[in-house]
Amino acid sequence: MHEKPYRSVVKTISWRALGTLDTFIISFFITSDTVMAASIASIEIVTKLVLYYFHERAWNKISFGRIKETKDNLNYHI
């Protein structure tokens, strides 16, 4: 089984939204400055969107931890 690229894009965006919120909160607690926290989160969202997308696509090509679908294991789920 493999994932289509658009699935990776949607997962990338949803994960990054959560991660950026986390970065904003941590940055705000450290700096006590909303503008600085937003600046850090803004830079981080762009770089990590790109990194995560390519990371996800690379893992999609690796068979590590996958089970090849056969007639015997079609209903096998972990």
Domain spans in the chain, listed from the N-terminal domain onward:
5-61
What pLDDT was estimated at residue 11?
84
| Average pLDDT over the chain, rounded to an integer | 85
What is the Cα–Cα distance from 57 to 9, expressed in whole angstroms? 10
Per-residue confidence at 12, pLDDT binned at 50, 70, 90? confident
Per-residue confidence at 40, pLDDT binned at 50, 70, 90? very high
Q: Is the pLDDT of residue 55 over 70?
A: yes
DSSP 66: -
Per-residue confidence at 4, pLDDT binned at 50, 70, 90? confident
Per-residue confidence at 49, pLDDT binned at 50, 70, 90? confident
End-to-end CA distance of the chain: 14
